[in-house]
């Protein structure tokens, strides 16, 4: 956390501040009220939040840990959920099948990382190729459609706030409590800070790695199943969720080196990205121009989150020691 005049600024602050700035700009450009924009953002953001929370757990488990299979697992979960739900007539069984597929894909990554000792980015890339191949096979002649009841719930927004967004928000709070108040959460963060030291303290690092990767795979597949039910299944449905899921985690304050997870920041980062996409589409920028602007904005948010000099960040934990304290003069021996 950054300290400004003895007041600690939470690491997720900058992501929400950036989202507010983009919301104001959207209102200025469109000239309309912001309630519709907020409702749209909270309708789309929960799917990115679910994927981001899984990615957050993986990245907080230590340097080098990342799951690049989330995009293809996302698409696969959507196809399987709609296909199984269409055959069985039960959207619950469809979601269960999608979760099972995510678990199976993540298990491949876990085996490759822990037992074959393949680097995480390579292992999850291989899993991504497997998930993509299965998705392409399922997509041939695919004619399934989302369940009307589930689709109606995902579109339900009482008082302008989507009910699904509230459910994901409650789940985010549970993840935060898990990380801060449980032994498992503390052990996971300890592995991310210093794996060898955690193992010396009796923490089973392998179990932690299994947990975070399986959770990430399950959440990615579940998010894909729900997103496909909200719109329509597609082999390219999750393509935008790979880089976005990494970006929202980092912007939200989670350390890429591991040891610190910020669930609230995932929400801030997701809202920032969703609102930014809406603003750029409203302006009519080209796709290349949008990427350039998004890159600069992301760098700006990361700059503030890491401690901008204009904020007067102080290196000493005790501000009283910084005032009127001179360095002792060291004289050479004669």
DSSP 4: E
Interatomic CA distance for residues 254 and 306, integer angstroms: 11
| C-alpha pair distances (Å), 62 with each of 58, 117, 202, 250 | 8, 15, 17, 14
* Encoded tokens for 179: 């990380």
Interatomic CA distance for residues 91 and 89, integer angstroms: 7
- Exposed e or buried b for every residue in 250-280, given b needs 16+ CB within 10 A? bbbbbbeebbbbbbbbbbbbbbbbbbbbbbb
The full set of domain ranges for the chain reads 43-148+167-308
Say what the pLDDT of residue 232 is.
Answer: 84
Q: Look-up: residue for tokens 């979601």?
A: 95
Per-residue pLDDT of the chain (334 residues; tens, 9 = 90+): 545 444 567 888 888 988 898 888 888 887 665 677 788 889 999 999 999 999 999 999 988 899 999 999 999 999 999 999 999 989 999 999 999 999 999 999 999 999 999 999 999 999 999 999 999 999 887 888 889 999 999 999 888 789 999 999 999 999 999 999 999 899 999 999 988 999 898 899 999 999 999 999 999 999 999 999 998 888 999 988 988 898 899 888 888 888 889 999 999 999 998 988 888 888 877 777 776 776 676 677 666 655 554 444 444 444 444 444 444 444 444 4
CA 313, distance to chain mean position in Å, is: 27
Interatomic CA distance for residues 307 and 314, integer angstroms: 10
Interatomic CA distance for residues 295 and 290, integer angstroms: 8
Please say whether the beta carbons of 197 and 51 come within 8 A. Answer: no
Q: Is the dihedral of CA 137, 139, 141, 146 positive or negative?
A: positive
| C-alpha pair distances (Å), 157 with each of 17, 152, 171, 194, 298 | 24, 10, 18, 44, 30
Class of domain 43-148+167-308: mainly alpha
pTM: 0.85
Interatomic CA distance for residues 228 and 142, integer angstroms: 13
Work out the number of other CB atoms within 10 angstroms of the CB of residue 38.
Answer: 16
């Amino acid at each position: 956390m950054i300290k400004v005049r003895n007041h600690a600024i939470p690491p997720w602050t900058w992501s929400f501040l950036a989202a507010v700035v983009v919301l104001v700009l959207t209102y200025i450009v469109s000239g309309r009220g912001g309630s519709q924009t907020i409702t749209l953002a909270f309708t789309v953001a929960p799917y990115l939040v679910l994927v981001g929370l899984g990615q957050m757990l993986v990245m907080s488990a230590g340097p080098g840990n990342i799951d690049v299979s989330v995009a293809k697992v996302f698409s696969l979960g959507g196809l399987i959920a709609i296909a199984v739900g269409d055959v069985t007539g039960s959207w619950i069984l469809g979601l269960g099948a999608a979760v099972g597929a995510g678990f199976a894909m993540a298990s491949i990554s876990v085996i490759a990382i822990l037992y074959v000792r393949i680097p995480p980015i390579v292992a999850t890339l291989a899993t991504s190729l497997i998930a993509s191949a299965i998705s392409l096979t399922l997509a041939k002649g695919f004619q399934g459609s989302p369940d009307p009841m589930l689709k109606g719930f995902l579109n339900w927004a009482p008082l302008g706030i989507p009910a699904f967004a509230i459910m994901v928000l409650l789940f985010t709070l549970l993840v935060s409590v898990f990380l801060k108040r449980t032994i498992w959460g503390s052990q996971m963060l300890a592995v991310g800070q210093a794996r060898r030291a955690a193992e010396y303290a009796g923490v089973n690092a392998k179990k932690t790695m299994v947990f975070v990767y399986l959770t990430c795979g399950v959440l990615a597949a579940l998010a894909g199943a729900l997103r496909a039910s909200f719109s329509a299944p597609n082999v390219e449905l999750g393509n935008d969720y790979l880089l976005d899921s990494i970006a929202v985690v980092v912007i939200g304050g989670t350390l890429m080196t591991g040891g610190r997870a910020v669930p609230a920041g995932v929400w801030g980062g997701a809202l920032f990205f969703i609102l930014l996409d809406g603003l750029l589409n409203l302006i009519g920028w080209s796709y290349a121009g949008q990427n350039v602007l998004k890159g600069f904005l992301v760098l700006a948010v990361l700059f503030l989150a890491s401690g901008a000099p204009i904020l007067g960040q102080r290196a000493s934990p005790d501000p009283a020691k910084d005032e009127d304290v001179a360095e002792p003069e060291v004289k050479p021996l004669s």
